[in-house]
Amino acid sequence: MQHGVAMSEQEDSSRPLSPAGRADVERVAARARGVGVRVERCVNSGKLRADQTATILAGAIGGRVECIAGLNPSDAVQPIADWLTQQARVSPTGAIAVVGHLPFLDRLTSLLVAGDADAHAVRFQNAGLVKLVPKDKVPGYAVAWILSPELA
């Protein structure tokens, strides 16, 4: 999930969610809950807007909120891709929500889905939630669905 729309740096240098951004995240999280989405963990970068988004999401669909290293906008995606793949092997039913930023989420999803971080496999938007599932017989992931604020 990409974090919701944040306040500008001029408005607040800590960049919390804007009222509209909070409302978008709440709407998407409620819709996800309504269709039965549940997670064990909501990991985020620790930036305020991502942590607020993860907290709202976890409040709706469960999971503990955790700040982890490696999810900042320009971080390398391979370490997190490897970590997610390992987590899927260890706990195949333990869904993880990754709440972060662009361009990181675009590059991570592209690597997981297309095997190429530069493939632009999914067009993210603020407060958008994308569900990936492991492919059946080959490595990698497939996009199961995308929920945008407009659809929630």
Q: pLDDT by residue for the chain (152 residues), tens digit each?
A: 999 999 999 999 999 999 999 999 999 999 999 999 999 999 999 999 999 999 999 999 999 999 999 999 999 999 999 999 899 888 878 899 999 999 999 999 999 999 999 999 999 999 999 999 989 888 899 999 999 999 88
Cα 6 to Cα 17, 48, 55, 133: the distances in Å are: 4, 9, 15, 28
Q: Hey, where are the domains in the chain?
A: 19-147
Question: What is the pLDDT, as a whole number, of residue 105?
Answer: 98
What's the token pair of residue 101? 């930023």
**Chain CA centroid to CA 97, Å:** 5
Q: Look up the CATH superfamily of 19-147.
A: Phosphoglycerate mutase-like (3.40.50.1240)
pTM: 0.95
